[in-house]
Amino acid sequence: MADHDDKKCAHASCNCPVKDGSKYCSTFCEGEGDTTDIICSCGHPGCSATL
């Protein structure tokens, strides 16, 4: 096993894997990273708001 951590998005409510070299999965979370939102609206499948 190599050092391949499943790094998750730094957004508190996001479970998406981050892009390589980024703390966030998308520019959305990058902008909302400081916001402790309950719902993630990054738009990635499996991480959208449960409406």
Report the nearest approach of Zn ion to the CB of residue 14 (Å): 3
Burial zone of 51 (CB within 10 Å; 0-12 exposed, 13-18 middle, 19+ buried): exposed
Report the nearest approach of Zn ion to the CB of residue 44 (Å): 5
Is the Cβ of residue 1 or residue 34 nearer to Zn ion in the bound state? 34
Report the nearest approach of Zn ion to the CB of residue 4 (Å): 19
Residues lying near Zn ion in the complex (CB under 5 A): 9, 11, 14, 16, 25, 29, 40, 42, 47
